[in-house]
Amino acid sequence: MEFAILGPLEVRTRTGNRIRLGGTRQERLLATLLLNPGGAVPVPRLVDAVWEDRPPATADRQVRNLAGLLRRAFRKADPTGPPVLLTDGHGYRIPLDDHGLDSRLFADTVARSRRTAAAGQQSAAAAGLRQALSLWRGPVLDGLEGQLIDAGAVPLDELRLTAWEDCLDLDAALGRHRASIPELTGLVADHPLRERFVGQLMRALHASGRTADALTVHRRFTGRLAEELGLDPSPELRRLHLALLTAGVDPDPGRGSGGAGPSTGPLATRPRTAVLRGTGRPGGPADERAGTARATAATAAARGAASADPGAGAEAAEGGRGPRPGVPVPAQLPPSLATFTGRDAELAALDAFAEAAATVGGRDQDQDPGPGSTSAARICAVSGSAGIGKSTLVVQWAHRVRGRFPGGQLYADLHGFSAEPPLTPHAVLARFLRALGVPGEQVPSVPEEAAALYRSMLADRRVLVVLDNARSAEQVRPLLPAAPECLTVVTSRAGLAGLTARDGARPLALDLMPAPDAVALLDRVIGARRARSEPAAVAELAAVCGHLPLALAIAAGRLAERPGRTVADHVAELRDTGNRLTALAIDDDAASAVRATLDLSYRTLPAAARTLFRLLALAPGSGLTAAAAAALCGERVAVVRPVLDQLAIAHLLTHEGGDRYRLHDLLRLYAAERAAAETGRAVSTAARERLGTWYLHHADAAARLLTPHRRRIPLGAPGPWYEPPVFTTAAGAQRWCESEHTRLLGMVRAAAEHGPDALAWRLPVALWSYYFTSPHLDDREEAARLAVAAAVRAGDRYGEGHARNDLATALGALGRHDGMLAELRLARALFASIGDRVGEAHAIGNLGDHCLGTGAYGQARLHFQGALTLFRAQPEERRDDWAIRVCETNIGVTAMLAGRAREAGEYLHRALDRHRSTGDPVLESITLYHLGDHHRRLDRPEEAAARLRQALAVLDATTRNPRLRADVLAALARLGEAAGPPDSQGPPGG
């Protein structure tokens, strides 16, 4: 027999005749055996594969019957062939030595092709992989569903994708760049988060002369990766991106022909740059840096550049752009740190910057530039927040590459953010000129003349200039050499956008250390043995230090000084947020404390930026939008956004793209300290209440779109500063709620802790429409419990009734029916005590929901009918049409579960018509789901499937209800199997 699972399941005889297997259950059994090629599969596992989680009592016997049916079908199709299905112990197996299986042939062909590639036969290996890939006719076992089948298909799908990636790498090595672009474009579209395909497409586009398109591919990928997973691209892809930027976006079109070899394109002309290696090759960031160092050393040796040693100046003068004999060679770099760790991507970026600047008008530095030549960017501006490690990074990198600068290395701390006054450009020029051999009395006193002399002194030398801790572009500009052979690296807490715009500086922004690098830094300082003894505590220490390098260094230093103290004890000390910034200090070096470094940045801010920075500490969570920040200030967004940008430029706030900003943990603690010291209680309270009001009205606006016909609690008018939300559709409202749900819960917590109590209960009630379809059930319960406590504190029986009603629906969604019943009884009594008949009707209707969950169908109908009567009795202005339709739907569900099929059909169909006529996709999709269950119970599988597919279409087109969507898909999968009520979603509640 020939078995095929790389696509729809097929079985053919040796002569090519296709065998009909007879039904879905036989196909599932056979598929499970073929996913375990040659091995025995026990009967219980086959039962799971055939029936999932709903097997009949006779499942074991039925599996044996199915195996017998398959044997007869195989024997009938090929009477003289070898046996196909063998009993093996307590299970079955298919002996594949006597039969063919396309997945095994695929795996063998891929393995053979990889051995061929390892032997250097690239063309033959690529052809072999193409042959293997041609065996695929579609997804594994296309058309068959089930958890075990899906799980068994995953390894094959992954092998297929890696084989495709290997094949495309071979195509690239053979110079087939242009030909592979259509295929890669389709693969990236089908697998948009598969990074290796993205990197291959970027290389192919670049090698075909389309670097701008390659950069567009990178931008789309990184945006999607951040939006969908909240992740950054790997270091390998970041290095590739930097390499493309270095190469320029307009490569020579003559190099882009599809038949060119692997060296095609500008990237291949810079073999010294480690970042140009392909992603997915052996070796990590350390190998990349080692390669760069070796290449740099080789280049320096070829040029005769000895080092920064003063004696090397004369030897290097003629060919290495060094000084003339007898001229001093400055070597002013501060010492590098022995504990330096990580920053692989940033070091690669600096390497790429140096490589770009090493080419002048397309010529190497050792060639005369010639008249009219231009250079690449010769300035790099490294920016980041206080304590992020800018100076450490640049000094470390400068020591690595100083051999390439035989003219010397100049260094100055400009004191831009320091307890001392910032240095004037003229003061720095005087220092540099004296270091270059100009006698002190001959240094010009006029700044312009000093700058001209400085540029003249460097005109024929290759010098590295490091300008550390700059305050502004104006402070830096007079210190920039004009010589194309010189490089300048500037560090600053400010963005120095002017240096980028006017002087062509290449920006490099530093972020917090990735978690593995932060842990590695701690390991290096406190000792690997000590770190290995408390790995969890070391990881937690990195987290409480906020992955800020300065904080990590201080914490590790304090531990190193106290060898008897455990890491866990130090973490416990730092966990005290009121003491953390004090603990992150060095006893004999107050200037190096985290708080002191942040003070220096904070004091340079304008008054409005300082005020906003303090208020940001009042927001829940680490991130917020510009509109939320405006609410804190009581201003319009247009007024506040420029102030947010000032904070971002000062690196006291991170702009995450779009309209969202973030404070990292230590900055948030520092902002809270400043708020406690400088912002009065009344101002803080008013700001917190404005932000709560903003969230409340936005949540209410979202509810009006998500459940537009549902009656809502009244809200007071917001202040004149309030601007309506930007979302105008149900899908937009759902996205806003989902993106803000942690901050919404944080706002409820803050209101419960600080007040006002009215906000603490109103906000969860306003969020009911979102929580109704949300998967965040635990958050829903917590918010409701906080709402109940706040309403009780306030003595607000109206609010308490709504809060307890909402808590009951949250407990019902979690399946905790006893707690649900207790809360509903209290809610009903509260509403009755204040004469709120509508609220009482909601509680009664939810009592019906509780009875459904416990199987008391007769009592459920009485509750739903009673609630319906109350709702209909209300005056027109108080009538809740949404609740009326919910009750009607639930009466239909009750009739269905109680076995009254005719009544169920009437109610459910009538409810569906009403939901559609009022344009309510939420209740429409729920009712379609129950109609599907209704038809399934009547043994009408085709009608049931049609209703379930309609429900799925409504869910995908208009509303997002992940719990209901999962139930619909499960119900579709169960059709035709053992009957049973799939009621995990339950009826709608109110």
Short-list 364, 360, 362, 363, CA closest to 378 = 360
Residue tagged 């409504």 (tokens): 954
563-589: average pLDDT? 72
605-679 matches 887-974 in fold: no
Q: Tokens in use for 464? A: 């590295």
Report how far residue 912's alpha carbon sits from residue 739's, in angstroms, rounded to the nearest whole number: 31
What's the confidence (pLDDT) of residue 327?
66
- pLDDT score at 707: 84
Q: % helix / strand / coil in the chain, to the nearest 5?
A: 60, 5, 35
Q: Is the pLDDT of residue 965 over 90?
A: no
Query: For residue range 96-129, what is the model confidence (pLDDT) as tens digits?
Result: 877 889 999 999 999 999 999 998 899 999 999 9
How does residue 590 score in pLDDT terms, banded at 50, 70 and 90? Answer: low
Q: 221-225, 423-427, 745-749: which range is least confident on average?
A: 221-225
Give the whole-angstrom CA distance, residue 966 versus residue 224.
24
Q: Going by CATH, does the domain composed of 605-679 fall within 1.20.1260.10?
A: no
pLDDT (0 to 100) of residue 900: 92
The Cα 701–Cα 706 span in angstroms is 9
**DSSP annotation of 422:** P
End-to-end CA distance of the chain: 59
Fold of 887-974: 1.25.40
Is pLDDT above 90 for 40? Answer: no
- Please state which of the ranges 355-359, 379-383, 448-452, 891-895 shows the lowest mean pLDDT: 355-359
Whether the pLDDT of residue 74 is over 90: the answer is no
Q: Give the distance from CA 838 to its chain's centroid.
A: 44
Among 533-547, 900-914, 974-988, the minimum mean pLDDT is found in 974-988
Q: Using one digit for the tens of pLDDT, what is the confidence trace for 623-656?
A: 899 999 999 999 999 999 999 988 888 888 888 8
* 160 compared with 877, residue with greater pLDDT: 160
Mean pLDDT of 599-615: 88
User: What integer pLDDT is reported at residue 289 of this predicted model?
Assistant: 34
81: confidence class by pLDDT, cuts 50, 70, 90: confident
List b or e across 920-944, with b for residues whose CB sees 16 or more CB atoms inside 10 angstroms.
bbbbbbbbbbbbbbbbbbeeeeeeb
Owner of token pair 């007071």: 716
**Encoded amino acid at 570, one letter:** H
For the chain, percent of residues with pLDDT exceeding 90: 32
Contacts of 224 (CB under 8 A, 6+ apart): 192, 193
pLDDT of residue 301: 32
Beta carbons within 8 Å of 927's beta carbon, 6+ residues apart? 889, 892, 908, 911, 912, 915
- The Cα–Cα gap between 547 and 518 comes to 6
Q: Which residues contact 987 (CB under 8 A, 6 or more apart)?
A: 849, 852, 886, 889, 890, 893, 894, 926, 930
Residue 325's pLDDT band, with cuts at 50, 70 and 90, is low
Cα torsion 723, 729, 732, 736 to 10°: value is: 50
At the top level of CATH, the class of 286-361+376-509 is alpha beta
Over residues 256-279, mean pLDDT: 30
Query: Please, what is the average pLDDT of the chain?
Result: 81
Confidence band of 298 (pLDDT split at 50, 70, 90):
very low
Q: What is the pLDDT, as a whole number, of residue 989?
A: 58
Lowest mean pLDDT among 277-291, 329-343, 585-599, 934-948: 277-291
How high is the pLDDT of residue 897?
Answer: 92
Q: What is the pLDDT of residues 507-558, one digit of tens each?
A: 888 888 888 888 888 887 888 777 787 888 888 888 888 888 888 788 777 7
The structure's pTM equals: 0.57
Q: How many helices and strands, by DSSP H and E, does the chain display?
A: 43, 16
Q: Which amino acid is at 159?
A: L
Does residue 44 carry a pLDDT above 80?
yes
pLDDT over 70 percentage in the chain = 86
Of 534, 20, 644, residue with least CA distance to 9? 20
Over residues 231-254, the mean pLDDT reads 64
Rounded mean pLDDT, 868-883 = 86
Topology, domain 1-174: Arc Repressor Mutant, subunit A (1.10.10)
What mean pLDDT is predicted for residues 924-937? 92
Q: Name the residue ranges covered by the structural domains of the chain.
A: 1-174, 286-361+376-509, 515-590, 605-679, 682-795, 887-974
Digit-coded pLDDT (tens) for 304-314: 333 333 333 33
pLDDT for 121:
92
How do residues 153-181 score in pLDDT, each as one tens digit?
A: 888 888 999 999 999 999 999 999 998 99
More confident residue, 375 or 525: 525
User: Bigger pLDDT: 573 or 10?
Assistant: 10
Question: 359 pLDDT exceeds 50?
Answer: yes
Strands 409-413 and 464-470, how do they pair?
parallel
Distance CA 887, CA 205 (A): 59
With the CA atoms of 961, 966, 971 and 973 taken in that order, what torsion angle do they form, in degrees rounded to the nearest 10?
140
Give the model confidence (pLDDT) of 746-796 as tens digits: 999 999 988 899 999 999 999 998 888 888 888 999 999 999 999 999 999
Predicted local confidence at residue 796, as pLDDT: 93
Q: How confident is the model at residue 422 (pLDDT cuts 50, 70, 90)?
A: confident
| Chain segment 385-410, per-residue pLDDT in tens | 888 888 889 998 999 888 888 889 99
pLDDT of 616: 92
Q: Where residue 278 falls among pLDDT bands split at 50, 70, 90?
A: very low
Residue in this structure with the two tokens 């390659």, named with its chain if needed? 214
